[in-house]
């Protein structure tokens, strides 16, 4: 190389050097809104330098129907079916959270039987939701079989919900002050059968997917989320715990009867790579299913006798005031902020949805990774677009 050329190259910027003196620019790639791996209607605008991701801009709102505006036009009990339709994979828990919030505002105590049934339903819902998360995550990465196994087991949980309230996806079961129906006479027996049936299946899932070499190669050390960043971004639920932070609303800001049960809060340990990587987030959900089974086993034997509809108020008219109440739903911290002006319908309902918040970390997590890792990262965050857009 002549001195002249060398001099010329030394004056080039860093980006031009990579293009051997030619002008280079980032490529913008559009992913979604109709894409099987976006788990709904989500559009990601990816800014790429070759295969490397420089920036991710999520565009949301395709499913927006303004739940909060609807809620202002409804009476308090009428809002319950609308909450179902936010996180449609964790519908039972959305109702649970709403009921807890309004009860706090009203200052009423529900019968213990109601609390026990709510906890059992909530934990069954958590298992069902995690099964979808784990199954579709495998599907995104390229493992088809675990998806079928997960859905086979989820079906059994949906059957339990069906004999309870007739619905399989959107229940309208947990009401303010009580429940719409008491449990079916067979429910206790069938739930016990399910627990015995499901326990060995977690090991089966581990053999199929968790410890699969290809799966580990795709997910370990990818999308590492440090603890401090996670807290600052408001990340909650399994994603936060996978970063090594022991934080669970069920223990740290307890509600209902969760303080009566003995269960552990699993945290990410970086078994296959770094603490807080995609594999940790995946495996945390597996461990959470085991803990949920433990809670169900304890609760199902202790359901007290009682009337599940005795505490349902005839007319719900909370005093003037406001409340922020949160529960630990399968995806994280689900908060309801309700303002009452003393009327029969809420003045303002604001939902802090865990999926909405967790999706905000996409840009931070994906920078510097390859395009293919976007799928692994997005799947490990486990979002439901119905709740992101509300």
Partner 1 sequence: MKTAQDIFNILKEKFGNSVLELVSTQPVEPFITVNPLVVNKICLFLRDNEELLFDNLMNLSGVDDANGKTVKAEDGTSKVEGATLSVYYHIESTSLKHKVVLKVSAPVEKPDVESVALIWRHADWHEREAYDLIGLNFLNHPDLRRILMPYDWEFGHPLRKDYKDPEFYLGMKVPY
Q: Does 146 help bind partner 1 (rule: CB under 8 A)?
A: no
The residue within the footprint of partner 1, chosen from 24, 168, 233, 370 (CB under 8 A), is 233
Mapped onto helix, strand or coil, the DSSP state of residue 311 is coil
What letters, b where the CB count within 10 A reaches 16 and e where it falls short, cover 78-104?
ebbebbbbbbbbbbbbbbbbbbbbbbb
Extended strands (E) in 330-363? 332-340, 348-352
In the complex, what is the shortest distance from the CB of residue 27 to partner 1, in angstroms, rounded to a whole number?
A: 21
Return the number of the residue (58 or 138) whose C-beta is nearest partner 1: 58
Stretch that binds partner 1, among 17-25, 136-144, 346-354, 371-379 (CB under 8 A): 346-354
In the complex, what is the shortest distance from the CB of residue 262 to partner 1, in angstroms, rounded to a whole number?
A: 22
Cα 103 from Cα 312, distance rounded (Å): 10
The residue within the footprint of partner 1, chosen from 143, 323, 370, 371 (CB under 8 A), is 323
Cα 266 from Cα 167, distance rounded (Å): 31
Residue 27 host element (H or E): strand 27-31
In the complex, what is the shortest distance from the CB of residue 125 to partner 1, in angstroms, rounded to a whole number?
A: 22
Cα 171 from Cα 162, distance rounded (Å): 9
Return the number of the residue (87 or 140) whose C-beta is nearest partner 1: 87
Q: Does 348 help bind partner 1 (rule: CB under 8 A)?
A: yes
Give how many residues touch partner 1 by CB under 8 A.
35
For residues 86 and 387, is the Cβ–Cβ distance under 8 A? yes
Site residues (CB under 8 A) for partner 1, limited to 84-113: 104-105, 107
Return the number of the residue (213 or 315) whose C-beta is nearest partner 1: 315
For residues 167 and 161, is the Cβ–Cβ distance under 8 A? yes
Return the number of the residue (131 or 176) whose C-beta is nearest partner 1: 176
Q: Does 335 help bind partner 1 (rule: CB under 8 A)?
A: yes
In the complex, what is the shortest distance from the CB of residue 379 to partner 1, in angstroms, rounded to a whole number?
A: 20
Return the number of the residue (143 or 339) whose C-beta is nearest partner 1: 339
Q: Does 54 help bind partner 1 (rule: CB under 8 A)?
A: no
The residue within the footprint of partner 1, chosen from 74, 158, 190, 339 (CB under 8 A), is 339
Q: How far is CA 278 from CA 29, 32, 147, 266, in A?
A: 23, 21, 18, 15
Stretch that binds partner 1, among 116-124, 171-179, 198-206, 316-324 (CB under 8 A): 316-324
Strand partners, 328: 333
CA dihedral 77, 78, 79, 80 (to 10 degrees): 70
Q: Does 69 help bind partner 1 (rule: CB under 8 A)?
A: yes
In the complex, what is the shortest distance from the CB of residue 156 to partner 1, in angstroms, rounded to a whole number?
A: 35
**The two three-digit tokens of residue 337, written as one number:** 């902020």
Stretch that binds partner 1, among 12-20, 125-133, 275-283, 318-326 (CB under 8 A): 318-326
Q: Does 360 help bind partner 1 (rule: CB under 8 A)?
A: yes
∠ CA 277-367-243, nearest 5°, is 25
Residue 147 host element (H or E): helix 145-165
Report cis status (omega within 30 of 0) of the bond before 33.
Answer: yes
For residues 110 and 103, is the Cβ–Cβ distance under 8 A? yes
Q: Does 33 help bind partner 1 (rule: CB under 8 A)?
A: no
Site residues (CB under 8 A) for partner 1, limited to 235-274: 245, 247, 252
Return the number of the residue (77 or 335) whose C-beta is nearest partner 1: 335
The residue within the footprint of partner 1, chosen from 19, 21, 321, 343 (CB under 8 A), is 321
DSSP letters for 240-275: HHHTT----HHHHT--TTGGGS---------SSSST
Q: Does 319 help bind partner 1 (rule: CB under 8 A)?
A: yes
Return the number of the residue (50 or 321) whose C-beta is nearest partner 1: 321
Residues that bind partner 1 (CB under 8 A): 60-61, 64, 66, 68-69, 104-105, 107, 231-234, 245, 247, 252, 319, 321-324, 326, 333, 335, 337, 339, 348, 350, 352, 356-357, 360, 364, 389-390
């Amino acid at each position: 190389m002549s001195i002249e050329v060398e001099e010329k190259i030394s004056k080039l910027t860093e980006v031009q050097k990579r293009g051997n003196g030619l002008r280079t620019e980032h490529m913008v790639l559009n992913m979604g809104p109709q894409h099987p791996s976006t788990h709904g209607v989500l559009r990601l605008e990816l800014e790429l330098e070759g295969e490397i991701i420089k920036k991710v801009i999520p565009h949301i709102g395709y499913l927006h129907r303004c739940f909060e505006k609807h809620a202002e036009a409804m009476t308090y009990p009428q809002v319950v079916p609308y909450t179902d339709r936010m996180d449609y994979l964790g519908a039972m828990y959305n109702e649970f959270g709403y009921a807890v919030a309004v009860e706090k505002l009203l200052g009423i105590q529900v019968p213990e039987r109601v609390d026990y049934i709510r906890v059992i339903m909530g934990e069954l819902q958590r298992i069902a939701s995690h099964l979808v998360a784990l199954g579709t995550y495998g599907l995104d990465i390229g493992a088809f079989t675990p998806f079928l196994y997960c859905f086979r087991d989820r079906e059994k949980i949906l059957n339990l919900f069906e004999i309870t309230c007739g619905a399989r996806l959107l229940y309208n079961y947990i009401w303010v002050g009580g429940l719409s129906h008491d449990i079916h006479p067979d429910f206790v027996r069938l739930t016990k059968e399910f627990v015995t049936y499901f326990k060995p299946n977690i090991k089966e899932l581990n053999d199929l997917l968790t410890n699969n070499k290809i799966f580990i190669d795709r997910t370990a050390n990818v999308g590492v989320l440090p603890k401090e960043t996670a807290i600052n971004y408001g990340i909650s639920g399994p994603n936060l715990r996978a970063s090594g932070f022991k934080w669970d609303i069920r223990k740290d800001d307890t509600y209902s009867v969760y303080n009566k049960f003995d269960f552990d809060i699993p945290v990410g340990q970086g078994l296959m790579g770094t603490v807080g990587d995609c594999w940790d987030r995946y495996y945390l959900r597996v461990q959470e299913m085991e803990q949920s089974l433990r809670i169900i086993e304890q609760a199902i034997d202790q359901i007290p006798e009682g009337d599940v509809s005795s505490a349902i108020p005839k007319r719900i008219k909370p005093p003037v005031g406001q409340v922020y109440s949160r529960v630990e739903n399968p995806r994280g911290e689900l908060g309801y902020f309700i303002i009452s002006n003393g009327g029969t319908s809420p003045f303002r309902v604001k939902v802090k949805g865990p999926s909405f918040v967790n999706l905000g970390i996409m840009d931070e997590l994906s920078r510097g990774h390859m395009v293919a890792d976007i799928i692994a990262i997005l799947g490990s965050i486990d979002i439901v677009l119905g709740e992101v857009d509300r």
